[in-house]
Amino acid sequence: MSSATSTGAIGATGAIGLRGVDIHFGEGKTAVQALSGIDLQIEPGEFVSLLGPSGCGKSTIIGALAGFTPITSGELRVDGERVTAPGPDRGVVFQQHTLFPWKTVAKNVEFGLKMRGVRQAERQRQAREMLTQMGLGEFLAHYPHQLSGGMQQRVNLARVLVNRPRVILMDEPFCSLDAQARLQMQELLLSLWHELHMTVVFVTHEVDEALFLSDRVVVLSQRPARIKSQIKVGLPRPRTRDLLTSPEFVSLKREMLDLLMGPPPAAKAS
């Protein structure tokens, strides 16, 4: 595991370990099991997608890693430390509508720095730099409701990344965007990830998205979620949209779909 820290860049740590993690909600008759016996090791700087049907409990894993959702049994560690509460070392990008509506774009991005006690001039500088890098330099003084969904998610990403988290947890962050904006965001995310060397755990229900982004795809079962299988994605990096139509990608996708849905029914005569 320590070999991956050789780059020495900020955030080169970020190892995640889940051992036999169970999560139950509620008690007695209404108790629901969300996760069952999850064993998962994630290397520092790795990009891992959790792929599974809607409502299977993928987001519960994110909740547990973020520190909102207590685990019922098992062990959950980030860089060797038990996760007990939310913290800025594990940034979370939610689906949508989690920017503070009463803060401007710049103030939203400054929020984490402010919480750490960074001086105003310094946090303004960092927020401006981050937003400019993400193509939002002209929207510092806008309020979230004045931006498109894609731009809002970019601000969301900036608000998390400006804190240089070791781990970034993403819960279907692009699922409400249209296809074009989504692809743009995926490419942006990959280039930022490349530059910032952080560990990413990315929840999605889309095969294309999981394959395009990840080093490894963890396939989850129906609720209660168990790990069904794990697939290494050996596609070369850096990846661009051309990859989506390449033969390697398509054959990997076919393999993945077979795994998810069983072998295809006999092809109709063409």
Partner 1 sequence: MASAAQARIAPRVQAAPLSAAEVSLSARPNRNATGRLTKRLRAAFVGALSIALWLGLWQLASVQKWDMFFRFENIPAPTEVAAAFSELYRAPKFAAHVGNSVRRIFLGFSIASALAVVLGLLIGRFRLAAQSLFPPLEILRPIPAVAWIPVAILLFTSAEQSMVFITFIGAFFPILLSTIHGVEGVDRRLVYASLTLGAGPIDVFKEVILPGALPSIVTGLSIGMGTSWFSLVTAEMISGQFGIGYYTWEAYTLQQYPKIVLGMVTIGLLGMGSSFLVKWVGRRFMPWFKPDASAA
In angstroms, give the least distance from the CB of 68 to partner 1.
6
Site for partner 1 in 192-251 (CB under 8 A): none
Q: Which two tokens stand for residue 249?
A: 């990608």
Shortest distance (Å) from residue 176 CB to partner 1:
13
Residues 6+ apart with CB under 8 A from 202: 47, 48, 49, 50, 170, 173, 209, 210, 213, 214
Tokens matching residue 182:
């989504």
Query: In the complex, what is the shortest distance from the CB of residue 33 to partner 1, in angstroms, rounded to a whole number?
Result: 23
Nearer Cβ to partner 1 (85/266)? 85
CA 90 to centroid of chain Cα atoms:
11
> Applying CB under 8 A, does 94 fall inside the site for partner 1?
yes
The answer to the question of residue 68 lying near partner 1 (CB under 8 A) is: yes
69 scored as a contact of partner 1 (CB under 8 A): no
Site for partner 1 in 47-66 (CB under 8 A): 66
- One of 19, 77, 82, 116 touching partner 1 (CB under 8 A): 116
Cα separation of 192 and 269, whole Å? 46
Helix (H, G, I), strand (E, B) or coil at 39: strand
Q: Is 84 in the site for partner 1 (CB under 8 A)?
A: no
Piece in contact with partner 1 (CB under 8 A), picked from 71-79, 80-88, 208-216, 232-240: 80-88
Mapping DSSP to helix (H, G, I), strand (E, B) and coil, where does residue 73 land?
strand
Name which position in 115, 135, 241, 251 contacts partner 1 (CB under 8 A).
115
Residue numbers 142-161 binding partner 1 by CB under 8 A = 143, 145-146, 159-160
Residue-wise burial string across 183-220, b where 16 or more C-beta atoms lie within 10 A, e elsewhere: bbbbbbbbebbeebbbbbbbbbbebebbbbbbbbbbbb
- Return the range that interacts with partner 1 (CB under 8 A); candidates 14-22, 52-60, 95-103, 185-193: 95-103
Site size toward partner 1, by CB under 8 A: 29
Cα end-to-end distance, the chain, whole Å: 50
- Taking CA 72 as the corner, what is the angle to CA 69 and CA 75, rounded to the nearest 5 degrees? 90
The verdict on 88 binding partner 1 (CB under 8 A) reads yes
